[in-house]
A and B are shown apart, each in its own frame.
Chain A
Amino acid sequence: MNASNFINPFSIREDEGSFAGDFYTRNFERQARKDSIILNLGPQHPSTHGVLRVLVELDGEYVLRAEPVLGYLHRMHDKMGEVKTPYQYLPNMGRVDYLHPIAWNWAFVGAVERLASIEPPKRAEYLRIISCELNRISSHLLWWGAFVLDLGGVTPILYAFEEREMINDILQIITGSRLTMSYFRFGGVCADCDSRFIKLTKDFIPYLRERLKIYKALVTDNIILRRRLEGVGPMDTDICLRYGATGPVLRASGLSSDTRRNIPYSLYDNFEFAIPAGPSNDCFGRYLIRLFEIETSLQIIEQAIESLPDGPILIDKAPKANYKLPAGESYFAVEGARGQIGVHLVSDGGKNPYRVKLRSPGFSNLSLFAEAAKGTLLADAIAILGSLDLVIPEVDR
């Protein structure tokens, strides 16, 4: 250990013998310029929210190229779907995206119901909508806090967690869990709501609206935040379509697309809600779209809880653990907090599905990052990464 061991970080690639990056770094390096720095953001990095790793080539503070490296949280959900019966596989869905587990519940349950031609009872559909929208709000709130944290504002995430805790308390009443919920069943939901749930939800809606006003004054109108976001990372509709990006990213680009409206599932057709198409396609547009979606979800919950019908919550003879799916395929897409969640289910009539393919919105949204981050400052690249709202377990599955 002396000064002669010191490696000049700028000339690291000239010194081939002493440097050994892993496979991805070496692969990335092949196209690198001679005078640039290759920087590994992650897998342990404060702003990659988990174990995403992004390789970036830097010219000073400017990002020349970026390449996300995935798989650090890969759990092979696709394979698990093939070795378990659908009923056994259902709890997996809460683990795919821990921030919006109910949407994943819905995507898988919906695919099975489609294949088995099951129609859930009306009350169950309402409960599904209410729980899914509540869950969407909690997901957006956490994103909001984490995104401002990426920009260096530490306080909002703690404010966001306060409301998130309240939503968790509400959802806990019906789902029984706070994070990896597994609330849906084939042909309905597993538990009915009680008067306490309804009261808490009704109280929560005006409360959150008041809080959103505070957040607007405190964070959205902050001049530093605006200067950090406005005009940063523009993504037009074309790039979104080429990469298959969905959800708020696509809506911010100006295309009013929402699975709840375009490919209506469940009873979403019965509700009045606006699908905003962004005022701008930059990070600030995506920021506003998500905050607006909280309001949209509140509207839906408000209508649903007002008109909650009576009746059963699960069909008779609902499929159980030994249920055999009929042969065929089905694709069910729902609008998750991050975009279109799809489950492609193929069955050969056996006990286990023949193939389960999960389409996660984060996966497609992240693939867009490499192109969007080109030529931006490092801090802007972090902002773009944050504005995509990534949940790594969902990207890696």
Chain B
Amino acid sequence: MRYCIIGGSAAGTSACEMIRGIDKKADITLITDEKFALYSRCLLSYLLAGSINEDKLKFKEKDFFERNKIEALLGVRVEKIDSKKRELGLSNKKKVTFDRLLIATGARPKEMGIPGEDKKGVFALRTIEDARGILNRSNKGVKRVAILGGGLIGMRDAYALGHKGFDIKVIVKSGQILSQMMEKEGAEIIEAHIKKFGVDVMKGLAATEILGKDEVSGIILDNGNKLDCELVIVGKGVAPNIELAKDIGLATKEGIIADDYLAASQDGIWTAGDVCEAKDLVTGEKTVNALWPCAVEQGRVAALNMAGKKTKYEGSQSMNSLDLFGLSTISIGVTKPKGAGYEILTSKTENSYKRLVIKGDILWGMTLVGKVENAGVYGILIRNKINISDYKKILLRDDFNYAKILPLIKKEAQKFCKPEFQDILLTY
């Protein structure tokens, strides 16, 4: 059996590993257009911040490909899929055949679509090349940075450079930062915190043009003001790389539509990772949850199915973790509910914030700012749709932790099938 995997990040590598675990004889080929393989994209902001070096970006051992007997084609782009011939056309003009294919092509930064975006000194932090470019530039005495976008990426970039003492302006169109991840009240705590570290958030504004001859010298804002800066980082989110899939007529929307087994709409093709639009656990709708843990999990499940072990994908859970200058934030599930019938519970202290989104006695989502150590416990309640009607106050309390939900685990034990839960119930 010949397996091809397009994409060498979280989903692609976890799939390789899983296939190899099941099928010792399989031919596995992994193709990625990046030359530097097996690095963790999510760590790039830490590289930028200087908290790790490039070595530490590796999330698999150096001999990962050899040990798993994987043919890795690095720096090679797949230009065409021929689904009839079961063949891939590569940028090096070679062709590779496959029996089963995983498309894990990931996503790329969205472009701003404003004049000047091609100037030197404009970056989006997605690849190691971007990180090297930014670092290179920041070593040349650059002081002022404009970050366009106040989402997760923008905030991580702001933290990374803020950590190095840059003068940072974050330009946010909406009235708050992190508007995808949480609502205003929590975001304000974070905004106040990062301000102390030199990150200035300018809300309700957008860049309309990037100035400079060859290199960036500033930006023009939609209120007409000019902002001087030597570095611009675009953090406007990512768009799944669905072109290859579209070319051969796979069902796509935002990403490649995957069924409950992560198969794409044509036989022999699966999809996983940031390009995959699969079921969301909480809402039940198909969504692209572009998250590292989701990608790893999807890679595993797709691989199981590719290797003939039919495995249902439970669904992805929208969640995110962020740490800015020592202030941690984790959100899981539905944090900004639309529509009626939601009950919102919040508790707030000077430097911590908790917000629970409840509907029909079930926890749908939550946001934690400051104190995050019990985030995963909320996560399991959300994931398993546990009735928490009598536990609302307990969930909101400061001393909430895993022990507090034991009675709930006992009550709905059938939903907690991990053996670890069963072990605990032995004496409770």
Q: Do A and B bind each other?
A: no
A residues adjacent to B (C-beta < 8 A): none
